[in-house]
Amino acid sequence: MFITRKHISRRTLLRGASASLALPFLDAMVPAATALANTAAASKPRLGFFYFPHGAIMEKWKPEQVGTDFGISPILEPLAPFKKHLTVVSNIGNRPGESRAVHALVPGTWLSCVHPRETNEPNMAPTVDQIAAQHIGQDTPWPSLETGTAQGQGQGSACERGYGCSYSGTLSFRNASTPLPIESNARNLFLRLFGQGDTARERQYLMQQTNSLLDMIAEETNALSRTLSARDRATLGDYLDNVREVERRVNNVAHSEVASLELPEVPGATSQNFDERLALMFDLIALAYQADLTRVATYVMAAEGTDRPYPNLNVAGGFHPVSHHANQKERIAELSRIQRFHMEKFAGFIKKLADSKEGEGSILDHSLFLYGSNMGNSNQHDNYPLPEVLVGGANGKHVGGKNLALPERTPLANLHLTMLDKLGIQQPSFGNSTGLLSQV
């Protein structure tokens, strides 16, 4: 029997007069009679780090039972549908993040596990996401994405005279002296991922010529669709629907009265748009993973030390003041609601990737994500125990469905080293690591 079906490249772009769009994985990218694992369309790992400030209420975070037969805790409950991909990692600490300058250091040291030298100039170490980007991100348009809901530092205490502001405004360091800036504007990120042009000004100009990227490439999209199977047409259609919906929401935010202003980070200044911005950035990261525009991403879901209010959650006061709960029952309940809210948004992102089929599974099956904080008890400003969960299949290398009680004060660096190992990135050590976590 002769099989002559042609296949399209994984790097195929839909092009219009002034725009291009990467494609999701399609069956048509696999050559006929060829094993998927032996093609360029083989599933690629994705890695992500999702950070929330001010620790967690651990009695609401940590499941009571250890092992595989554990009940989902109140804050983790939104992840219940994905329990088979979920590992709760307890008794983790990060000594390199400990200092008098808590808010100034905990974001930057979460992914480095190295205590920076005391100087106003950045001096630390490359972070785990950048090590991964060197190995699995170099053949993508964006080796890594650094995103957040707020640019720069939080309120006041996120900078410290002995260390400056280099470690509170980002999670990512390319090397010891190069912190990577966060993109917090959803429209700018959309243009970066899907726009066309050599400069930011040119991309902005080209996008202004039409309200829709998809309109620019409609002719080529229709031509491609006619060559695809019914299953691939459905996959492509779902992907384009997601692009259209994100594009619509980005334009709505960009054209809103608030978005046109340059607002300082003060209580109430951007609260009415925070929910939308939080979800938009998650959706853009999901699209970037889906189109293989990047395989490594970090997301700071709220700035360190932020006073952002959450009136939608019936919280009296800003995030940072509420985190200093003084063991008051009402304040603890408010902080728990904020932490549950952030988890719900993360769970929505996880669902999107679980529903995104790729090869013999989903994008979630091929990914590994760390969701957590570099602070333990916010009222005490301590760094132990840290709230950390892993989510994803890592191409079969991570089996979830367990709550691990590791030895007391297991270094966070051991978890990072283990994540790299599960993605096929072997490192002799990382930060202050003492070895791999065989239990994960």
| Residue 332 C-alpha from the chain's centroid | 26
**Phi, psi dihedral angles at 357 (to 5 degrees):** -75, 140
Query: How confident is the model over 136-191, as pLDDT tens digits?
Result: 998 888 899 999 998 654 433 467 778 888 898 899 999 999 999 999 888 888 87
128 alpha carbon, distance to own chain's centre: 13
* pLDDT reported for residue 210: 52
Residue 24 preceded by cis peptide, ω within 30? no
**Per-residue pLDDT averaged across 318-332, rounded?**
93
Label each residue of 50-112 as H, E or C.
Answer: EECCCCCCHHHHCCCCCECCCCCCCCCHHHHHHHHHEEEEEEEECHHHCCCCHHHHHHHHHCC
- Output 35 or 347, whichever has higher pLDDT: 347
Predicted confidence at residue 251, as pLDDT, reads 65
* pLDDT, position 200: 54
pLDDT in the model for residue 359: 85
220 vs 53 pLDDT, higher one: 53
Q: How large is the angle between the packed helices 230-254 and 218-225, nearest 10 degrees?
A: 160
Query: In this predicted structure, what is the pLDDT of residue 321?
Result: 92
Average pLDDT of the segment spanning 55-77: 96
pLDDT at 226: 86
Residues 6+ apart with CB under 8 A from 139: none
* Other residues' Cβ atoms within 10 Å of the Cβ of residue 272: 12
Q: Which of 343-357, 372-386, 410-424 has the lowest mean pLDDT?
A: 372-386
Predicted confidence band of residue 42 (pLDDT cuts 50, 70, 90): low
Q: Which amino acid, residue 158?
A: A
Band the pLDDT of 17: cuts 50, 70, 90.
low
> Is a pLDDT exceeding 50 seen at residue 429?
yes
**Residue-by-residue DSSP string for 200-251:** HHHHHHHHHT-S-HHHHTHHHHHHHHTTS-HHHHHHHHHHHHHHHHHHHHHH
- Model confidence at 428: pLDDT above 70: yes
Query: Mean pLDDT, to the nearest integer, of 45-72?
Result: 96
Structure confidence by residue, pLDDT tens digits, 224-279 = 888 888 888 888 888 888 777 777 666 655 554 334 434 333 333 333 578 888 99
Number of domains making up the chain:
1
* Tokens standing for residue 15: 């092009």
Is 314 within the bounds of a domain? yes
Please provide the average confidence, as pLDDT, over all residues in the chain.
84
Mean pLDDT of 305-312: 89
Give the model's confidence band at 129: pLDDT under 50 very low, under 70 low, under 90 confident, else very high.
very high
Q: What is the pLDDT at residue 141?
A: 85
189 contacts 338 by C-beta, under 8 angstroms = no
pLDDT, tens digit, for every residue of 380-405?
A: 888 899 999 999 999 999 999 999 99
Tally of residues, the chain: 440
364 against 29, higher pLDDT: 364
Tens digits of residue pLDDT in 240-254: 887 777 776 666 555
Asked if residue 24 has pLDDT above 60, the reply is: yes
What is this structure's pTM? 0.81
Q: Within the chain, what is the greatest distance between any pair of CA atoms?
A: 75
pLDDT of residue 57: 96
Which tokens in the block code for residue 61? Answer: 């975070």
Q: Is a pLDDT exceeding 80 seen at residue 293?
A: yes
Which range of residues forms the domain containing residue 286? 46-197+264-422
Report residue 377 as tokens. Answer: 């008890």
What's the mean pLDDT in 333-358?
A: 96
pLDDT at 206: 59
Q: What's the distance, Cα to Cα, between the start and end of the chain in Å? A: 46
Residue 151, pLDDT score: 62
371 closest CA partner among 75, 153, 102: 75
Question: What pLDDT shows up at residue 197?
Answer: 53
| Domain presence at residue 244 | no
- Whether the predicted pLDDT of 196 surpasses 80: no
CATH of the domain at 329: 3.40.720
Please give the single-letter amino acid code of residue 168.
S
- In the numeric block, which tokens belong to residue 271? 């609260």
Tokens 């989902």 label which residue?
A: 72
